[in-house]
């Protein structure tokens, strides 16, 4: 009986240990997703106003600041690539509205 209890306890600990890294990865992806959603909103606001450079310029500054604020907080490599794509869109508009 005691051997069964020990085996069960070891199995339970092993299962919990295996689930923890996956759970942490899921939480990190969720965190990155929330940050990227904020940046995406700022960049989309710039895109919507890109026809009017006077309106877009202050929004460009805000979006640039948000990108730099968020970059060190991202954990997944794919999140960094997404942020780079948003930065590229912003850079194209900066060329139109210097």
pLDDT of residue 19: 55
Query: Taking the domains of the chain in order of start, what are their residue ranges?
Result: 28-96
Structure tokens at 59: 């929004």
pLDDT of residue 83: 86
pLDDT of residue 1: 46
How distant, in Å, are the alpha carbons of 43, 90, 94 from that of 98? 16, 12, 5
Cα–Cα dist 82/44, whole Å: 14
Cα–Cα dist 72/14, whole Å: 33
Residues 9-59: pLDDT tens digits? Answer: 555 556 555 556 666 666 677 788 888 888 899 999 999 998 999 999 999
Are residues 40 and 86 in contact, defined by beta-carbon separation less than 8 angstroms? Answer: yes
Residues 60-92: pLDDT tens digits? Answer: 999 999 999 999 988 888 888 888 888 999 999
């Amino acid at each position: 009986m005691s051997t069964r209890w020990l085996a069960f306890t070891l199995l339970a600990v092993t299962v919990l240990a295996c689930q923890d890294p996956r759970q942490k990865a899921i939480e990190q992806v969720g965190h990155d997703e929330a940050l990227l959603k904020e940046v995406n909103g700022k960049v989309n606001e710039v895109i919507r106003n890109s026809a009017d450079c006077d309106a877009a310029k202050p929004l460009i500054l805000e979006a640039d600041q948000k990108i730099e604020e968020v970059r060190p907080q991202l954990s997944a490599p794919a999140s960094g690539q997404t942020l780079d794509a948003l930065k590229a869109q912003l850079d194209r508009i900066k060329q139109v509205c210097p």
